[in-house]
Structure 1
Amino acid sequence: MTTGDPAADGLARAGAGPATRRVRVGAVTLTVEVAETPAARRRGLMDRTSLPSGTGMLFVFGRESTDGFYMYRTLIPLSIVFSRYGRVVTIQEMTPCGEENPNSCEIYRAEAAYTEAVEAPGGTFSNAGIRPGDMIEFF
């Protein structure tokens, strides 16, 4: 089934479930899968061999968090934006971790507490000039 939105259809072909939203970070607009449950947040984008441009994953915490992200079993480079109440807190580029032991993988943390995080293909946010303080909108 297609939605008529090429980015959302790309997520569906990648094995995504039906829960998607649109996110705008500065000038970047993405169609993202929503990872609302602890299990979905733990799984994230693990084992994916590609992520279409214009897509990503939204991690919703429902409270302020300082938890870190790692790239265990994540096969592709990712950009991450941490946001708090509609403003970007931190932007980072994350590289895949080929270690067998997840505890050996680098942990990526925000510079301050955050309420959501958005992952997208590597370079998405830094190449667009996204900076802390920029607005983030969910629709």
Structure 2
Amino acid sequence: MDFSRRVLLAGALAVVGLASACAPKGPVDAAGRALEPLSIVTASGEHNFMVEIADDEAERERGLMYRPPLGDDRGMLFQFPTATEQSFWMKNTPSSLDIIYIDPQGRIVSIASHATPYSETPLPSNGAANGVLELRAGRAAEIGAKPGDEVRHSFFRP
């Protein structure tokens, strides 16, 4: 093999290696977005979800804007570096959501149920939260979630 072919082969192998190093390591959704397991423990039992993680400013700002409705077992977990009063809105979000505010120990602080699509009305947490979980509207009530219930995910420290 001559030198130029070896260089091309080495370059191709480097691109393949870089692509596999950047690929999500766990499960992904149909659009290739990485998903992580999360569960909510309520009086009716443990309820499992697969969630996308929004852990930087750009991901938190974009959230579920312009996206189709979530499935029953899907969600998005917004992670903030510190627990403080949080407030979300539904600007550019076409489907109704339940917004669950969570403290650093993984306890539900409050739930904003059936948030109105496209609304710019702030929905406050009414307490310090560093996690915010968005689920399909009505899902929190279906599983019996309420303030004080436990959310299990590696982000929270019980």
Same fold (TM over 0.5): yes
Greater length-normalized contact order (CA 8 Å, ≥ 6 residues apart)? 1
Task: Say which of 143, 148, 158 aligns to 1:128.
Answer: 143
Measure the CA separation in 2 of the matches of 1:23 and 1:121.
15
TM value normalised by structure 2: 0.72
Q: Is the 8 A contact 1:90 1:132 kept in 2?
A: yes
C-alpha spacing 1:16/1:96, structure 2 compared with 1 (3 Å): farther
Measure the CA separation in 1 of the matches of 2:58 and 2:141.
28
**Where in structure 2 are there 5+ consecutive unaligned residues?**
1-25
C-alpha spacing 1:16/1:120, structure 2 compared with 1 (3 Å): farther
1:44 aligns with 2:77: no
Mapping 1:91-102, distance limit 5 Å: 91-93=111-113, 94-97=115-118
Residue in structure 1 matched with residue 106 of structure 2 by the alignment: 86
Q: Considering only aligned residues, what root-mean-square deviation do their CA atoms show, in Å?
A: 1.9
TM value normalised by structure 1: 0.81
Residue in structure 2 matched with residue 23 of structure 1 by the alignment: 38
Q: Percent identity?
A: 28
Question: May I ask how many residue pairs the two structures share in their alignment?
Answer: 124
Q: Is the 8 A contact 1:87 1:132 kept in 2?
A: yes
- Runs ≥4 residues deviating over 4 A: none
Residue in structure 2 matched with residue 102 of structure 1 by the alignment: none
**Where in structure 1 are there 5+ consecutive unaligned residues?**
99-104
Measure the CA separation in 2 of the matches of 1:126 and 1:37.
29
Q: Which structure has the greater CA radius of gyration?
A: 2
Residue in structure 2 matched with residue 101 of structure 1 by the alignment: none
